[in-house]
Amino acid sequence: MTQDGRNVNIPGTGSTGYFGFEVNPRAGYVLSLGNRFQVTPLAGFSLEWWRRDLTGGLQIRNPDGSTATINAGGYVKSYTAFFLQGGVRAGYTVSRDLRLNAMLSLKVPLFISENVDETREGKGEHTLNSAISPRLGLELGASFHRFNSALTFDRWTLAQSPDRRVVQNGQTLVVHQPDSTRTLLGFKVGYAL
Amino acid sequence: MTSRRIVAALAVVSLFAVPELADASPSSPQGSARSRRATPRQHPASATAPATDRPFDLDVSTTLRHFSWTETRQDGSQFVNESGMLFVIGATPKLSLGRERRIVVETGLEMYFGSVGYNGGVQA
């Protein structure tokens, strides 16, 4: 959630819906190092947009042990980030059909925008811009014939955004997006058509 | 006389520039056959071998992704923690260009969706 100057938090649990997409156009050059080893330096851009839906409300626990749903209107955040990216892909050919693959990438955001839509709660919309910080990606896998699989890792901290004044219910608040760290661990399976 | 020297020098240089010709000694039937066909060497590890067999690939994939999102106060304490599994579908069209197909141009496309657990709070 966005953070304002008030330090009183009511803890609660709920669920967050995610929907997003990412586009990574890039180009590189394959270098052969010996019979079986190839290294490909790559460079390009990356665009990611995602929607973070917090409209489900929060379950809080009252002092008497009962639970209640609050903040039922909730809000929706939409993030847009545009990156420069560079990286290197390595491949080791074990046999005619088996190949080991690895990729390391670094993405540097040029632009990060976070749109906070709280109109469900009558608080309007505002936009925050997290500070620039790099994003690291790592992929380790293998391909057999045309099938491939990989373990993927991606970590990115969106650094705290500058403060922004927002009027909510006639009250002026100073809000920001705090340091937010996203960690992705994945298992990918694919097929080359 | 001068032109003979130039032709001789070019012949010597050509032995280094085109190694196949150096193997084409008259005493070697294989070598003379190769020189007549003038085919380049096709060793996979040679610098002239294609980097890939296919000029175009379309890689389709699915990923099961564990997602974690934490928000941290200025004093270092965490006050939002989201985690759960997301589902990802992806496609990467890839072109391998150039005589040796060493220039790679690709676009990774991914779409993800799902719902994760939220552990945080509201300010009041």
Contact A16, A1 (CB under 8 A): no
DSSP B80-121: EEEEEEEEEEEEEEEEEETTTT-EEEEEEEEEEEEEEEEEEE
Q: From CA B68, how far away is CA B114, in angstroms rounded?
A: 13
Yes or no, beta carbons of A193 and B60 under 8 Å apart = yes
Average pLDDT over residues A42-66: 88
Average pLDDT over residues A41-46: 98
pLDDT number for residue A75: 84
Q: Is A26 on the interface with B (CB under 8 A)?
A: yes
Kindly tell me if the per-residue pLDDT of B97 is higher than 60. yes
Q: Is A66 on the interface with B (CB under 8 A)?
A: no
DSSP A71: -
Q: Of chain B residues 46-75, which have a CB less than 8 A from chain A?
A: 47, 49, 51-52, 57-74
Residue A74: CB atoms within 10 Å: 20
Give the number of beta-carbon pairs within 8 Å between A and B. Answer: 185
pLDDT number for residue B5: 67
Confidence of residue A4 (pLDDT cuts 50, 70, 90): low
Yes or no, beta carbons of A16 and B44 under 8 Å apart = no
Q: From CA A87, how far away is CA A136, in angstroms rounded?
A: 10
**Secondary structure (H, E, C), A94-117:** CCCCEEEEEEEEEEEEEEEEEEEE
Model confidence pLDDT, tens digit, residues B104-119? 999 999 999 999 999 9
Q: From CA B65, how far away is CA A185, in angstroms rounded?
A: 6
Highest mean pLDDT among A68-72, B12-16, B82-86: B82-86
> For residue A26, what are the contacts with CB-CB under 8 A and spacing of at least 6?
A42, A43, A44, A45, A85, A87, B105, B106, B107, B108
Model confidence pLDDT, tens digit, residues A80-132? 999 999 999 999 999 999 999 999 999 999 999 999 988 876 677 889 999 89
Contact B65, A189 (CB under 8 A): no
DSSP B75: T
Average pLDDT over residues B51-67: 93
Using a CB-CB cut-off of 8 Å, the residues of chain A touching B116 are: 15-16, 18
Q: Model-level pTM?
A: 0.80
Burial state string for A148-164 with b = 16 or more CB within 10 A and e = fewer than 16: bbbebebebbbebbeeb
Provide the token pair at A25.
């156009």
Yes or no, beta carbons of A3 and B71 under 8 Å apart = yes
ipTM of this complex: 0.90
Residue A71 has phi, psi (to 5 degrees) of 55, 40
